[in-house]
Amino acid sequence: MGLRLKKNDTAVVITGKNKGSKGRVLTVTPEKDSVIVEGVNIVKKHMKPNKQYQQGGIIEKEAPLHISNVMLVCPKCQKPTRLSNNVLSDGKKLRTCKKCKEVID
């Protein structure tokens, strides 16, 4: 599956228990087709005390979502959108919003 999201993009969840939630993409894992979105899909994890978590206990953290369950939010029109990939003559690839035709990067 082609990856349409990159780190620090704004994404919205389009299906599941967190439908409609927006957040910044923290990590993208192409091997598992998953992304972690800031503040979305929070799970509780029981941690033993270690150097990073001195006290241990129950920690809340973001869990990965499948990439097909999130959509990019266009920075210009602020709407969830699909992307088109355009290749320039020098071989550089550009992501373009399908709704407003604005170049994203």
Domain count, the chain: 2
Angstrom distance (rounded) from CA 11 to CA 19: 11
Strand partners, 92: none
88 pLDDT above the threshold of 70: yes
Place of tokens 């920690």: 59
pLDDT of residue 25: 95
What is the tens place of the pLDDT at every residue in 29-38? 999 999 999 9
Angstrom distance (rounded) from CA 90 to CA 2: 21
- The pTM of this model reads 0.82
Whether residues 43 and 88 share a domain: the answer is no
Q: Which range of residues forms the domain containing residue 32?
A: 10-73
pLDDT of residue 67: 92
φ and ψ at residue 14, rounded to 5 degrees: -105, -10
Q: Is residue 4 part of a domain?
A: no
Whether residues 68 and 42 share a domain: the answer is yes
pLDDT of residue 52: 83
Whether residues 49 and 89 share a domain: the answer is no
Angstrom distance (rounded) from CA 27 to CA 24: 9
pLDDT of residue 2: 58
Whether residues 54 and 39 share a domain: the answer is yes
